[in-house]
Structure 1
């Protein structure tokens, strides 16, 4: 499995990676995600000054985030990252 590391977290480079929200304690988790059938279209930002936002599906009931670190780009705003997931109908 191909991995890439962002802020000491290893993400799958080919598909979304699921993390417990406790592991993201140093990351910014967007506070206004968009409701979907299961969970929320959201975004996370690593504790790196010049890094962009990553799309993420947030499952509050499971206390986890499915980070889409495999996408080819990061986003300037959390809204754009969440919109990417919604537009691409990521489940």
Structure 2
């Protein structure tokens, strides 16, 4: 089964706990994170997403980033990621 998570337009330090709780609660084998509305991505929420991706990969679960907005792509590139590499821990670990 696949779970879809829609990211808010702004992920900053106030988004960390709700995002972490939402991602931790997902137990399905496939997770699609929809970043179509994302315009701002802070460092702490990015770390939450990376931790979730890494933990899921260790359990054999897949995570995919879909519909990355131009703002999302721009923000990810500042951190050295692309929408594809963000969900491939073998690339960045």
TM-score by length of 1: 0.30
| More helix per residue | 2
TM-score by length of 2: 0.29
| More strand per residue | 1
